A and B are shown apart, each in its own frame.
Chain A
Amino acid sequence: MSDYTTVFGSIDRYERGTVNIVADDPKNYLFSNMFDVAAKSRPYERVAVAKNFEYVIEVARAEGGSPWYAAAHDEFVTCLDHRVEVHLVKLDDPDAAVDPESEGAHRLPELPAGRKMGRVVLGRGHMAILPVGAAYRFEAARPATLMIQSIDGPETVHKWAEICQK
């Protein structure tokens, strides 16, 4: 038996830390918790929890099936707690689906023509590439927390006042 217990959180069980101020404003630390965000969001709302110029980290509550998305650049998704499936389709004409100059994930009204690339089943801590040129969607039997490395785009939701310590 291990002498140490590694603590991971999940959408149904997490503990938040805190900012203790000496001479500062807690708002300067944009302190939030990814499980808290997922627990309180609508399915597949892509909530920005970190932003550095155009780049973002989004957190999404996976629950049921998501829309199809595509981006003009790679994105990466990490599952933080429960099983989530990722389905990938290689687009015949990616530039027609998403402006190649655009940034961030775009929701596709319907799946454009393409070839099935395959699927990935992610468990806690598993990271998958959402490659440029592909469309993807998520599927989760029970609510789960996804962390997505991307760029601020039309699907990115900013609700900092709701999620951050004040």
Chain B
Amino acid sequence: MAMSDAIADPTRPANPRGLPLQSAFEAAPADNRTGYRSFTAGHFGFRRDGYFAHITWPGGRHQMAIDAFLRALMRDVAWGFFYGTVNFDTVFGTTNYYGEVEMFAGATNEAFIKSGTAYIERFKSDELMRIFKEMIGDWTNEGYDPFAAPMETGAPWGSKNGDNDPAVSRKRVTAKRMVGLPGDTPLRTDASGYPVNRMFADVPQDQPEVYPEPGFEHEVSAFNLFAYLSRSDVTWNPSVCSVVKESLFCPTSEEFILPVEHGNDRPEWFVQLSDEIIWTTKDRDTGAWRAQVVCKAGDVCVMPADVRHQGFSSKRSMLLVWENGSPKIPALIREGKAPNVPVRF
């Protein structure tokens, strides 16, 4: 079994598979027929046409509907490869080693693994990110927003037709201490371009009553988190709202389907703040079904570190994703020194 590099050299990203870094990247000119550029990263190739993203690697090929692919790619880009594994579907995805990243076909799919056809390559995160950003920019047409719920945006199909750079280059919001504090992430308002979402039109927009004594105006602080979330212009995009050391409250608004099956490398908690989300969980490594979790307002549950999860939200809902951002956790879990489930009772 491969020794973790986190133990061998704590300053280097862990490389449990001992893979070499790929450094060849290419962005081809626009195709004469479709108008889209194609891309290569290592030995992976990416091409889009009117309906699909086509992914190739030595010995294999795969295709995803372009809407699903762009929604997944958008999250992977916005989250900087996020925590652990981002499965675009049951075949293709990335696993984050924080500085370096693995891209794979079939590596989290039992049939591919058993037949020896899973394929994995490793990259420097910033280099792969550069290609992913070019891809999402080129493959997103005018009027289509991969962050938006399907009923709120245009269609991604067909040949190249303009672009939507403001939508695909949104920055993930990360408060340093708490939203609304002086110098920290500002509140969302109509004036700042964040109107209340149509499905949250009934959410009260009142603000807390704050009565600071003279001299404490900047330290006595509160804001309406529900109103803030009702004005989110994106779905399935957790943003940091409050921070206790490495404890990150990352609430988000959710509608339709989480565009990826997220295989976190640590336990991840969900606090359902409004409405309902149905989660399916599958084995992190094989994709075998494990459970369905129905969360209603006020429900709290954890996603164990050995599952992948995907959420389904009929009505736009408010979800508090709670992460522990400690860089020590993935290696502890990988080496069996920390449990997959944080509490046993």
Which residues of A are in contact with B by a Cβ distance under 8 Å?
A: 2-9, 14-24, 26-36, 49-53, 55, 57, 73-76, 78, 80, 86, 88, 90, 115-129, 131, 134, 145, 147, 149-151, 158, 160-161, 164
Min CB distance A56 to B, Å, is 8
Min CB distance A138 to B, Å, is 13
Task: Enumerate B55-101 residues with CB–CB distance to A below 8 Å.
Answer: none
- Of A34, A50, A90, A164, the most chain B CB neighbours within 10 A belong to A50
A4-B202, A55-B247 given as contacts; is B298 within 8 A of A129 (CB)?
no
A76-B249, A120-B209, A149-B244 given as contacts; is B291 within 8 A of A127 (CB)?
no
Q: Which of B216, B226, B289, B300 contacts A31 (CB 8 A)?
A: B300
Q: Which residues of A contact B235 (CB under 8 A)?
A: none
Q: Which of A4, A36, A50, A123 contacts B315 (CB 8 A)?
A: A4
**Is B227 at the interface (CB under 8 A from chain A)?**
yes
Min CB distance A106 to B, Å, is 15
Cα–Cα distance between A30 and B281 once the two chains are bound (Å):
14
Cα–Cα distance between A119 and B218 once the two chains are bound (Å):
13
Cα–Cα distance between A127 and B241 once the two chains are bound (Å):
10
Q: Which residues of B contact A74 (CB under 8 A)?
A: 177-178, 243-244
Q: Which residues of A contact B322 (CB under 8 A)?
A: 50, 52, 57
Q: Which of B219, B244, B266, B292 contacts A75 (CB 8 A)?
A: B244
Q: Are B224 and A126 in contact (CB under 8 A)?
A: yes
Min CB distance A137 to B, Å, is 14
Q: Which residues of B contact A5 (CB under 8 A)?
A: 202
**Is B53 at the interface (CB under 8 A from chain A)?**
no
Min CB distance B294 to A, Å, is 4
Segment at the interface with A among B18-26, B116-124, B158-166, B337-345: B337-345
Q: Which residues of A contact B269 (CB under 8 A)?
A: 50, 52, 57
Min CB distance A75 to B, Å, is 6
Cβ contacts B267-279/A at 8 Å (1 or 0 each): 1010111111000
Task: Enumerate B199-216 residues with CB–CB distance to A below 8 Å.
Answer: 199-204, 206-213, 216
- Of A6, A28, A50, A129, the most chain B CB neighbours within 10 A belong to A6
Q: Which residues of B contact A33 (CB under 8 A)?
A: 296, 298-300
Min CB distance A5 to B, Å, is 6
Q: Are B272 and A17 in contact (CB under 8 A)?
A: yes
Cα–Cα distance between A4 and B82 once the two chains are bound (Å):
32
Q: Which of A32, A52, A129 contacts B247 (CB 8 A)?
A: A52
Q: Which residues of A contact B301 (CB under 8 A)?
A: 19, 29-32
Cα–Cα distance between A90 and B294 once the two chains are bound (Å):
43
Task: Enumerate B175-225 residues with CB–CB distance to A below 8 Å.
Answer: 177-179, 181, 198-204, 206-213, 216, 219-225
Cα–Cα distance between A161 and B329 once the two chains are bound (Å):
26
Min CB distance B270 to A, Å, is 9
**Is B297 at the interface (CB under 8 A from chain A)?**
yes
Q: Which residues of B contact A27 (CB under 8 A)?
A: 341, 344-345
Min CB distance B153 to A, Å, is 18
Q: Which residues of A contact B212 (CB under 8 A)?
A: 117-118
Sampled A-B contacts (25; CB under 8 Å): A4-B199, A7-B296, A8-B274, A9-B296, A14-B298, A17-B294, A22-B292, A34-B298, A50-B269, A51-B342, A52-B342, A55-B244, A57-B269, A76-B242, A86-B222, A90-B216, A115-B213, A119-B220, A120-B220, A122-B208, A125-B203, A127-B178, A129-B221, A134-B219, A149-B247
**Is B33 at the interface (CB under 8 A from chain A)?**
no
Q: Which of B245, B266, B297 contacts A9 (CB 8 A)?
A: B297
Min CB distance B241 to A, Å, is 8
Min CB distance B344 to A, Å, is 8
**Is B326 at the interface (CB under 8 A from chain A)?**
yes
Min CB distance B75 to A, Å, is 22
Q: Are B274 and A128 in contact (CB under 8 A)?
A: no
